[in-house]
Structures are given as C-alpha cells and as structure tokens.
Amino acid sequence: MNDDGEIKHPGFDPIQKEILRQYEQGIRTSESLDSKIGIMLGFIFVIIGIISSISNPISLNQSIPPQGIILIAGMALLLIAAFLGFWAYYMRRFQGGADPDELIEMYRMQPDRDFEMIIARKIDESRIHNRDLNREKAKLTKIMFIIFFLALLMIVISRFQ
C-alpha cells in the first residue's frame, strides 16, 4: 500500500500497458478489416451494375447459351461474396472493457477493492473476445476475396466465349 492507501502491485504497470497496447491493436485491426470489406463491397456492386447494364436480358422462353450460364454463375458468386462481406462487416460485437456502471456499483459496495486490477482483467477479457472476433472477420474476408476473384474469372471467361 502506498501513502494514499492504494494497493500497488510491483511490476504490474508494464503488464497493464501491454494489455492496453494489444487491445488498441485489436481495434485498429478491426477498422482495417472493415475498410477492406467496404472497398470490396463497393467493387462488387460497381461490377454488378456495369454487367447488368451491358448484358442482354434473359428470357425464360429461350435457351441460355453457355456463356450466359457462366455469366449468371459469376454474378451469383459476386452476390455470395457481397453477402459474406456484409456478414463480416456487421459482426461488430466488439467489447470495450469494463462497464463504468458496474465499476461505480462495485466502488459503492467495496471502495477498497483493487480497481486497477479489475479494469485490467476486464480489458484483457475484451481483448481476447475482440481477437477472436477479428480472426473470424479475417477468415470471412479472405473467403470473400477468393469468391470475388473466382466470380471475376467466370465473368471474364463468359465475355470471351
């Protein structure tokens, strides 16, 4: 205990700083993934718009040529990629650390508790949750990129047949 009556843990400060650094890195990673997803979604919808405007409408009364089937498959893959992008983008259940209301209530009931340690634990729990969320978001983003490039390949092939 120091002169102010606070409980101090020797050597805890560097641990707390590292927890905060990793938590902040997780936020930056999530923002970077969201930017990539947003850019990809923009490309997907521009491509869908361009192809829709230059392609002939398909009638249900006529047979579809092979290049039309490939084009339709490519467009379907673009829509799947867009769905994955939206799913990854909106999976934001990011945790922000300790709940201030909960901390205030704890303080009212037990003001002598070690709140520095409690807050550090809550931030670390959030860091772990957010890390797992970012991993899932990154996996969905990679799958979206793969499907996007397969769709582009199919669309290009359909135009040159």
Task: Determine, yes or no, domain membership for 2.
Answer: no
Task: Determine, yes or no, domain membership for 7.
Answer: no
Q: Is the pTM of this model over 0.85?
A: no
Res 10: pLDDT: 57
Task: Determine, yes or no, domain membership for 4.
Answer: no
Res 55: pLDDT: 74
Res 93: pLDDT: 75
Task: Determine, yes or no, domain membership for 79.
Answer: yes
Res 161: pLDDT: 67
- Residue 123, domain extent: 12-53+68-159
Residues 137/91, Cβ–Cβ less than 8 Å: yes
Res 1: pLDDT: 43
Residues 26/127, Cβ–Cβ less than 8 Å: yes
**Tens digit of pLDDT for each residue in 112-152?**
878 778 888 888 888 888 899 999 999 999 999 999 999 99
Task: Determine, yes or no, domain membership for 104.
Answer: yes
Res 8: pLDDT: 58
How many domains, the chain? 1
Res 40: pLDDT: 94
Res 148: pLDDT: 96
Task: Determine, yes or no, domain membership for 126.
Answer: yes
Task: Determine, yes or no, domain membership for 62.
Answer: no
Task: Determine, yes or no, domain membership for 136.
Answer: yes
**Angle at CA 64, nearest 5°, toward 63 and 65?**
115
**Tens digit of pLDDT for each residue in 56-95?**
766 666 787 888 889 889 999 999 999 999 999 887 677 7
